[in-house]
C-alpha cells in the first residue's frame, strides 16, 4: 500500500519534525476522550471486511480497532509515525501513503476511519479525498470522520501546521456528495472543551462518485 509520498509534502515535513513530541503527547489510546473510544468501538462493531485507518499516526487507533476484532491496516504520510507504529504493534500492517491515491482495489474495503486526519486539507482539496474513500469502500461499508467542529469554516493555527475547523452540516454535505449517506452526527462543545465533531456515514450503492463540490464558504 506504499504510494509515492516524499518529504516535499509540507504536512508530512511538519509532522516529521514534531513526531517524537507528538508520539509522547498523543500516541496512546488512553490519551483519547472516553466518548471517542466508545463511538469508534461501536462503529467498529458494525463493520464487515478490512478497515483502513487513514492517517494512522502512531498507530493507537489501528491497534484499538484490532483489539476489538477488526481486520485493520493503517496508512500515514509521516514515515516516522509508520516506523513507530510498525515497531510498537508488530502484528499489524502500516504503510506510508496518501489519501488521494489509496493502493487498494475499488470497493475492497469494509470501511474507513479518518480520525482528525483530514483537518489539514484545504477545503477545495477535501472532496477528492472523500471521493477516494468512496472508491475504495464497498457499498454498505462505513466511514467515520473526526474533525474540529466550528460554526464557520475557517483555518486556524494548529500546533503542528495550519488546520481547518468545519460546521458539522457542511462537512456532512461533502461526505454525501462523495457517495455516502450520513447516518449520525456528534458534537462536543462547551467551556474548556475542544470543539469536536464526528460523522458516521454509509457508502451508497454503485452510483457515480462525488461531484467534486467545493464548499460554499472557503478560506485561504
Q: Are 147 and 171 in contact (CB under 8 A)?
A: yes
In this predicted model, what pLDDT tens digit does every residue of 21-50 receive, in sequence order? 766 666 578 888 999 999 999 999 999 999
Task: Name the pLDDT band for 128 (thresholds 50, 70, 90).
Answer: very high
**Ranges of each domain in the chain:** 12-54+105-203
**What is the pLDDT at residue 95?**
95
Contact 201, 139 (CB under 8 A): no
Report the distance separating Cα 150 and Cα 168, nearest Å: 8
Name the least confident of 1-15, 80-94, 157-171, 178-192: 1-15
Neighbours of 195 (CB within 10 A): 15
Q: What is the mean pLDDT of the chain?
A: 84
Helices 34-45 + 60-67 axis angle, to 10: 50
Q: What is the pLDDT of residues 69-123, one digit of tens each?
A: 999 999 998 888 899 999 999 999 999 998 889 999 999 999 999 999 898 888 9
Class of domain 12-54+105-203: alpha beta
Confidence (pLDDT) at 201: 98
Task: Give me the phi and psi of 31, to 5 degrees please.
Answer: -85, 0
**Per-residue model confidence as pLDDT tens digits over 132-165:** 999 999 999 999 999 999 999 998 866 656 789 9
Q: What pLDDT is attached to residue 59?
A: 94
Sheet strands (E) in 18-121: 51-54, 72-76, 93-96, 109-115
Q: Is the dihedral of CA 191, 192, 197, 200 positive or negative?
A: negative
Q: What is the pLDDT of residue 30?
A: 85
Q: Quote the CA–CA distance of 75 and 62 in Å, as a whole number.
A: 10
Pairing, β 196-203 against β 180-188: antiparallel
Checking if the pLDDT of 13 tops 90, the result is: no
Q: Is 197 helix (H, G, I), strand (E, B) or coil?
A: strand
Say if pTM beats, i.e. exceeds, 0.75: yes
Amino acid at each position: 500500500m506504499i504510494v509515492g509520498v516524499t518529504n516535499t509534502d509540507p504536512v508530512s515535513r511538519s509532522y516529521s519534525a514534531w513526531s517524537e513530541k507528538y508520539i509522547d503527547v498523543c500516541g496512546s489510546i488512553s490519551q483519547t476522550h472516553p466518548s471517542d473510544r466508545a463511538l469508534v468501538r461501536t462503529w467498529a462493531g458494525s463493520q464487515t471486511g478490512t478497515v483502513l485507518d487513514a492517517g494512522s499516526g502512531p498507530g493507537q487507533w489501528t491497534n484499538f480497532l484490532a483489539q476489538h476484532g477488526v481486520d485493520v491496516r493503517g496508512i500515514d504520510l509521516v514515515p516516522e509515525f509508520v516506523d513507530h507504529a510498525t515497531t510498537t504493534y508488530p502484528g499489524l500492517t502500516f504503510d506510508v501513503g496518501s489519501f488521494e491515491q489509496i493502493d487498494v482495489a475499488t470497493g475492497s474495503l469494509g470501511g474507513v476511519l479518518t480520525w482528525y486526519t483530514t483537518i489539514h486539507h484545504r477545503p477545495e482539496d477535501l472532496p477528492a479525498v472523500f471521493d477516494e474513500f468512496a472508491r475504495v469502500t464497498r457499498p454498505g461499508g462505513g466511514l467515520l470522520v473526526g474533525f474540529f467542529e466550528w460554526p464557520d469554516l475557517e483555518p486556524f493555527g494548529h500546533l503542528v501546521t495550519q488546520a481547518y475547523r468545519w460546521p458539522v452540516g457542511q462537512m456532512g454535505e461533502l461526505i454525501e456528495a462523495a457517495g455516502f449517506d450520513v447516518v449520525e452526527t456528534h458534537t462536543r462543545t462547551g467551556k474548556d472543551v475542544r470543539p469536536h465533531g464526528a460523522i458516521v456515514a454509509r457508502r451508497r450503492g454503485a452510483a457515480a462518485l462525488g461531484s467534486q463540490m467545493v464548499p460554499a464558504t472557503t478560506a485561504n
